[in-house]
Structure 1
Amino acid sequence: MNIARWVGVIVLLGLLARAEVPELTALVPQATGYELIAKLDPTAYAGSGYTIDRSEILGGDVKRIGYLLKLTDKQGELSWVFAAMDPFITDIARLGMPTPGGDIFQDYVTNLEVFSNVPAIKTGAFPKGNVEIWGCNYGGTNNKNIPGATSAFDFGDQPDSNGNGNYGCLQVHNYEQKQVVLAFNKFTAGKTCDLGIGNNTDVEANFGGSKTPNPDWTFSSSGQNYQQAELFIVAKIDNLTVKEVVLLDGNKASLTGTLDREQALFAPGEEMAFNLVADFQGQEPSNDYFITWERTGDDGVKDSGKAKVGPEPLVIKTSLDRPGFVRILAYLVDKNGKRVTKKVMRRGKEAQENLFFDGGAGVDIDKLQGVPEPADFDAFWAKQKARLAAVPMNARLDEQPSKDPKVKIYAVSIDCPGPRPVTGYLTVPADAKEKSLPVSASFHGYGTSIQRAPSGGSDTSINFSVNAHGYDLGQSDDYYKAFFESIKSNGQGYAFDPVQNADPETAYFNGMALRVMRALEYLKSRPEWDGKTLTVGGGSQGGLQTVWAAGLDTDVVKASAGVPWCCDLGGVTLGRITAGWRLPYVEALNYYDPINHAKRIPTSCYVDINRAGLGDYTCPPSGVAILYNNIRGPKRINWVQGSTHGYVPPKAQTFVLEQK
């Protein structure tokens, strides 16, 4: 046995020797004989996982299950509740936190005991209660007909029938008293998870400001109200045993998928073979691991399976009988269906990410087309250009500090029709001569990040980093927080409100597109511009803006659009896979759909779609394929296998199409 294994055994035996949970007995002295199964901080679970997890190493006969939730508010006041019950599951390994696609426990329980220091909680012994424990999304429908439950999120809800989504909940209820005992929901949210003891009655602590808060704390984001939170999962176990277990370290493992050909393109009915490989990189875990997978497609057909990881790749064979795409989504899971995770950094913070493969392949994708464009598409945009021409540019430049003496940096504001001006940061070579330089504009992805001044730039070209929203530059964090709240519409994030989008001139994208055109006008007005080279680029929402720019301004000579957003929004009406994060479709959005702007890109402009993910369902492959099809001039697209919107696998299989 190696040293790591010996250390693991010593630690586990030390935990076993306690035979009590001191944090529990300090609050409930009579709660003796419980073993700690797992401990976690709900507000850090998304990034750090368990503090302690003994679910794999304990064995025996489960006689009681208990949950202790301790919450310390910002004023230092401790609230706690302990709920114990007869077992609804006797497999100790399945007593930990639920996972997406895993166990769904929606069960009555017997001999419920409740202890708490919260006055509103009904304490004592009760004949029955119920639990709702799952890792997927859920709705408020009382599908189990729990007595007293309603269509609100309370003690009788409805988990997603296919186990989809990852919102999750771990809830204990005293339904006969119409009371939520404890709740931890929204497992992936960190500090803004849902946490509560008793029924939620706080209108303010409820998503969207609803006047009827959800009793089970769903959508409350109440985790942010606590400076400390602890959840203990415990059990009374007869014939207790402890075993040595070597678990798989997800940080040292991978799940990859490839096709057995050089292009991800097939004929109708032709067999596709996806080879999925789980690489443990020399690890020898004690238990078996599995790959679970689901096949969906633009034909509406679904298939799924599960296979034990072995020395040979898992081969998934499928086909598609019409133009479109097939999607294969797979996860690496343990013997209990719990997904294996690894630690990643997101926006400077550590988080947990599943080991997954999300990819696919296409059939006759050159034949794909979107819904018909508006009959007055060109007239609409002629009108918007007339609006633009009626407002003088009136550019204002405020020079910023530069660490490079060869480059000058300016904060720019340019008048524009619509609610706000064009704003952004411009970099100009210090010794620029008249008519000597190329110019470029870059556009940003969706979000509420704050644009700050760069420290330098190119000394051979003029570059304009264009803000998508036209907000004031160089302001306080409070200003930007208030700004992003102000651009919401009907409780929706910007651009997502179908009411606002029903009229193309009130759509949020209208002002954004006007700012794109005005930014290019300004660049072309610079005396240093060589009169020939105007390039544009961006990813996601920036890719959307890039296509607008190339379609609305004939002087653009190169457009580099990565994972372009909002392509083929109307595809949802044609049965295509549209499972990702997308705007609710209304016909007026066709004026902004890049597949229609692509038709207007002149043949003098080279368009490079530098990444299109075959597993990206924020920007579904079908929509990006239609965008490519509609470009009349020189073009290139780089299809990346296993790539989602924000993830590119190491050494990913790529498939490039190009027309010169």
Structure 2
Amino acid sequence: MPHFDLSLDELRVYKPAPTAPDDFDAFWEKTLTEAREHDLDARFEPVDVPYTAVDVFDVTYAGFGGHPVKGWLVLPAGIEGPVPAVVEYIGYSGGRGLPHTHLRWAAAGFAHFVMDTRGQGSGGSVGHTPDPVGSAPSVSGFMTRGIQDPHDYYYRRVYTDAVRAVEAARAHPLVDASRVAVTGGSQGGGITLAVAGLVPDLRAAAPDVPFLCDFRRAATLTERHPYREIALYLKAHIGEDEQVFRTLSYFDGINFAARATAPGLFSAALEDLTCPPSTVFAAHNHWAGPERAMEVYAFNDHEGGGPYQHAVQLRWIPGHLRG
């Protein structure tokens, strides 16, 4: 696929107006306050794995509504004192997977907390967290579940789970609660943006080809799912455009980026039809943290830089966690 979006020079200055409604901050403050009325109840069960370099824990904690959310905690084997942590969020339709797929950060000497995504985990990697909340009519997938009202929207639950995942990671005695970074690719990158805007004391955030940004542009620019789910919903529900995009404004990565307080490392791929590069740059260009960086992969689709980006993160994140 050749380049289809704005030129790179245009991307570097593309900064659409934020869409945050007047009650954006109040909405999220109330959401998180209600979630914290439930005991976090973070439990870490040792897992018998055939590894000598890491220790693995099966994690359960209370997310949105007090619902149990699963995760993995992977630690360098035999550590005695607290170490910095990287909290990771998973791409669309995937789950936490199996422990042996999450060894990179522990091998670098960090605690690695991987959050399962409620209701997902049957596409690419297995998940173990149900979403017990239903919704009104929606298109197959997750993008339009509860899209009629921000209080009912699916990602309200996911973003809340993600903030609580940081709290759960910090609850483990071998995690240095003062040195935590967040990261993830695609949907995981979008969740990373949300957490960076909702948790004020992170050391770093690294959203990789992030999804869930600049919704109106994305829904009218690409034919590829998951953004296409929004267009298909509106194709059937004619006349609901403004309500749908109002709901999505509470979950737009642009609006969270504008509230970030940590350094941020982004990546974008210029042939990415899943998360068009202009939507990624929109969040990057709104980033309010003290530092922002962008890695650009000129001839890549949604795979982005893959292991090359992982190598960049393995140099960049430790510099902020160890500093």
Instruction: Confirm or deny a common fold (TM above 0.5).
Output: yes
Structure number with bigger Rg: 1
1:467 paired residue number: 116
Q: Structure 1 residue 614 and structure 2 residue 267: aligned?
A: no
Q: Structure 1 residue 639 and structure 2 residue 296: aligned?
A: yes
What TM-score, normalized by structure 2, do the two folds share? 0.77
1:439 paired residue number: 85
Q: Structure 1 residue 547 and structure 2 residue 193: aligned?
A: yes
Amino acid at match of 2:199: D
Partners of 1:456 and 1:516 lie apart in 2 by: 18
Selected match of 1:577 from 213, 221, 236 = 221
Secondary structure of 2:216's partner?
Answer: helix
User: Cα offset for 1:516?
Assistant: 0.4
- Unpaired stretches in structure 1, ≥5 consecutive residues: 1-292, 298-324, 327-360, 652-660
Deviations 1:119-140 (A, max 9, x none): xxxxxxxxxxxxxxxxxxxxxx
Selected match of 1:413 from 60, 65, 72 = 60
Q: Is the 8 A contact 1:384 1:514 kept in 2?
A: yes
Name which structure has the greater RCO, CA cutoff 8 Å, separation 6+. Answer: 2
User: Cα offset for 1:403?
Assistant: 2.3
Selected match of 2:259 from 600, 613, 635 = 600
Amino acid at match of 2:255: N
Partners of 1:625 and 1:456 lie apart in 2 by: 28
Shift of the 450–486 alpha-carbon distance from structure 1 to 2, 3 Å rule, reads farther
- Unpaired stretches in structure 2, ≥5 consecutive residues: 231-243, 309-323
Q: Structure 1 residue 363 and structure 2 residue 20: aligned?
A: no
User: Cα offset for 1:483?
Assistant: 6.0
Selected match of 1:525 from 171, 174, 183 = 171
User: Cα offset for 1:592?
Assistant: 0.9
What TM-score, normalized by structure 1, do the two folds share? 0.39
Q: Is the 8 A contact 1:438 1:530 kept in 2?
A: yes
Selected match of 2:22 from 375, 378, 386 = 375
User: Cα offset for 1:461?
Assistant: 2.1
Secondary structure of 1:625's partner?
Answer: helix
Q: Is the 8 A contact 2:88 2:114 kept in 1?
A: yes
Secondary structure of 1:638's partner?
Answer: strand
Deviations 1:575-625 (A, max 9, x none): x734432151531111111110001111xx22111x201111221121111
Amino acid at match of 1:441: V
Q: Is the 8 A contact 1:488 1:494 kept in 2?
A: no
Higher share of residues assigned helix = 2
Q: Is the 8 A contact 2:46 2:58 kept in 1?
A: yes
Q: Is the 8 A contact 1:388 1:417 kept in 2?
A: yes
Shift of the 625–431 alpha-carbon distance from structure 1 to 2, 3 Å rule, reads same
User: Cα offset for 1:464?
Assistant: 0.8
Q: Is the 8 A contact 2:200 2:260 kept in 1?
A: yes
Q: Is the 8 A contact 2:88 2:113 kept in 1?
A: yes
1:399 paired residue number: 46
Partners of 2:295 and 2:89 lie apart in 1 by: 20
User: Bigger CA drift: 364-373 or 422-431?
Assistant: 364-373
Amino acid at match of 1:439: A
1:511 paired residue number: 157
Deviations 1:377-435 (A, max 9, x none): 1001100110122011112222211223443211111122337322111113343334x
User: Cα offset for 1:493?
Assistant: 3.1
Aligned-pair identity in percent equals: 24
Partners of 1:423 and 1:295 lie apart in 2 by: 39
1:18 paired residue number: none
Secondary structure of 1:423's partner?
Answer: strand
Aligned length: 287
Q: Is the 8 A contact 1:443 1:465 kept in 2?
A: yes
2:250 paired residue number: 591
Secondary structure of 1:623's partner?
Answer: helix
| Paired residues for 1:174-573 under 5 Å | 325=6, 361-363=8-10, 365-418=12-65, 420-434=67-81, 436-448=82-94, 451-454=97-100, 457=103, 458=106, 460-469=109-118, 490=137, 492-497=139-144, 500-571=146-217
Partners of 2:69 and 2:251 lie apart in 1 by: 19
Q: Is the 8 A contact 2:85 2:175 kept in 1?
A: yes
Shift of the 489–404 alpha-carbon distance from structure 1 to 2, 3 Å rule, reads farther
In the TM superposition, structure 1's runs of 4+ consecutive aligned residues that sit over 4 Å from their partners are: 293-297, 482-489
Partners of 2:26 and 2:161 lie apart in 1 by: 19
User: Cα offset for 1:490?
Assistant: 3.4
User: Cα offset for 1:541?
Assistant: 0.4
Shift of the 638–490 alpha-carbon distance from structure 1 to 2, 3 Å rule, reads same
